[in-house]
Structure 1
Amino acid sequence: MSKTVRAIPPFFAVILICIFVEPVRSTIEQLFFLFSLCDVDTIKGYILSFGIWAPLISFALMLFQSLIAPLPAFLITFANAAIFGWIFGALLSWASAMAGAALCFGIARYFGREVTEKLTSKMALGEVDRFFKQHGKYTILIARLLPFVSFDIVSYAAGLTSMSFRSFFWATGIGQLPATLIYSYAGGMLSGNSRTFVLGLLSLFAFSVLIVLLKKVWSKKQPAQIS
């Protein structure tokens, strides 16, 4: 019996708990609603409502966001900066995002593709698979630069490749650090419409960097194709 087949019963057991256990189901529905609003102040208010447990709740939110791809992680990063200050907020966001990425990678590596597709989507995972085949290690860096690209799906997809966890972990940590610092600084300084404006500028910058990276990857592949 394969690992994937053995993994299906416990996976469905978790799904049944999420559906039929009322407190669990209500919490999940509430979290989906919070993320669907795409409003930093709403996420901020939710985290603050837990008082001294706010950092732990923020950490848990990032893990939830990682597991249920593709929910927007930048909302939590902005909220953390607004609540805890941009330095501690950045540290909290970076650490929790690393834990979430490692969790996604581990789930995909242990449970296999069938379970991973249920947590993401077959189409989204297939697109990331093709991107990994084309760009390899650059995939992780590119994904971390774009705030609206689900890095969690990339983490899941990486777990299905031959990439070692150590390589993935280092690439993830280094790749996400600049973006986390930038978004945390912006989130700590701004609010409301000005935050949206800056996020747009950061996205434009990220796309510019993406174009440069893709050009470099393409230029490196050209000699091999010609030869």
Structure 2
Amino acid sequence: MKKTTNRKKSWIGKIVIILLFLTVILSYLFIPVVKNSTNNIFKMFATGDFTVIKEFVESYGAYAAVISFLLMILQSIAAPLPAFLITFANANLFGWWKGALLSWTSAMVGAAICFYIARILGRDVAVKLTSKTGLDQIDVFFEKHGKMSILIARLLPFISFDIVSYAAGLTSMSFGSFLIATGIGQLPATIIYSYVGSMLTGGAKLFVTGLLSLFALSALVILFRQIYVEKQKKKSTLK
């Protein structure tokens, strides 16, 4: 009886997520406002300038915090958009501690969504949203570090936050353990980024933002290279 109930819940979860994905895709394809707004958001991230994101969020006035929250969730799902740009923008706009709280809570929600997308829809979908090579590397990392994997991964800035969330959803670990480790592990970086981001002006702003943008761009290049290599392997296998 319990297995039947769990299967039913699983199917309901799959249907809900698939319907949400279809709604987003169809909205992008057939609603010009949605398409233009989405394209502008990706262009905004591509600038590597957190002040652009700050101005975008600020333009929504009383709803600025809500827009920032949704942007963080978007960047979580659409890995690997640089989350630090939003963290800097939040700190500059709301003050370092309020900005840190907003960034931390929204990143937690984004991580939870990635976790459940992978858990409910499986590895094939997680691979399409990230990369097979990236997930395989995190699998090896998980095997090496065991129960402490999530906490360690969150403390290491060069490991993709979002791919770790997807990979965790493919394991047998409980959601509670994942959430606690994520919350503790990401807190130091969020506080540091927020504190630094609240003080960035002039040349310092350009230097730090440029440095972190270069890091994010390097991660993006590596991810796209992994995807390209995977596609070439599939082509050679089919031949």
Q: Secondary structure at the match of 1:58?
A: helix
2:143 partner amino acid: K
Show CA shifts across 1:14-43 (max 9, x none). 434333332222222111111111111111
Q: Partner residue of 1:44?
A: 54
2: distance between equivalents of 1:19 and 1:136?
42
Q: Work out whether 1:56 is the aligned partner of 2:54.
A: no
Q: Partner residue of 2:118?
A: 108
TM-score by length of 1: 0.79
Q: 1:193 to 1:149 in 2, by over 3 A?
A: farther
Q: Work out whether 1:182 is the aligned partner of 2:189.
A: no
1:176 partner amino acid: Q
Q: 1:125 to 1:24 in 2, by over 3 A?
A: farther
1: distance between equivalents of 2:149 and 2:29?
34
Q: Partner residue of 2:230?
A: none
Q: Partner residue of 2:40?
A: 30
Contact in 2 for aligned 1:71/1:150 (Cα 8 Å): no
Q: Partner residue of 1:166?
A: 176
2: distance between equivalents of 1:193 and 1:137?
42
1:162 partner amino acid: S
Q: Partner residue of 1:17?
A: 27
1:133 partner amino acid: E
- Please state how far the C-alpha of 1:170 moved relative to its aligned partner: 0.2
Q: Partner residue of 2:161?
A: 151
1: distance between equivalents of 2:130 and 2:68?
22
Q: Partner residue of 1:132?
A: 142
Question: How many equivalent pairs are there?
Answer: 202
Q: 1:188 to 1:31 in 2, by over 3 A?
A: same
2: distance between equivalents of 1:142 and 1:193?
33
2: distance between equivalents of 1:68 and 1:118?
11
- Please state how far the C-alpha of 1:127 moved relative to its aligned partner: 2.0
Q: Partner residue of 2:80?
A: 70
2:187 partner amino acid: L
Contact in 2 for aligned 1:81/1:184 (Cα 8 Å): yes
Show CA shifts across 1:193-222 (max 9, x none). 313545759xx9xxxxxxxxxxxxxxxxxx
In percent, how many aligned pairs have the same letter?
A: 60
Of stretches 130-139 and 42-51 in structure 1, the one that deviates more from structure 2 is: 130-139
Q: 1:20 to 1:131 in 2, by over 3 A?
A: farther
TM-score by length of 2: 0.75
Contact in 2 for aligned 1:108/1:160 (Cα 8 Å): yes
Structure 2 unmatched ranges of 5 or more: 1-6, 216-239
- Please state how far the C-alpha of 1:153 moved relative to its aligned partner: 1.1
Of 99, 104, 111 in structure 2, the residue corresponding to residue 89 of structure 1 is 99
Q: 1:73 to 1:148 in 2, by over 3 A?
A: farther
Q: Secondary structure at the match of 1:136?
A: helix
Q: Partner residue of 1:79?
A: 89
Q: Secondary structure at the match of 1:91?
A: helix
Structure 1 unmatched ranges of 5 or more: 205-227
2: distance between equivalents of 1:106 and 1:61?
19
- Please state how far the C-alpha of 1:111 moved relative to its aligned partner: 1.2
What is the aligned-residue RMSD (CA, Å)? Answer: 2.7
2: distance between equivalents of 1:40 and 1:116?
28
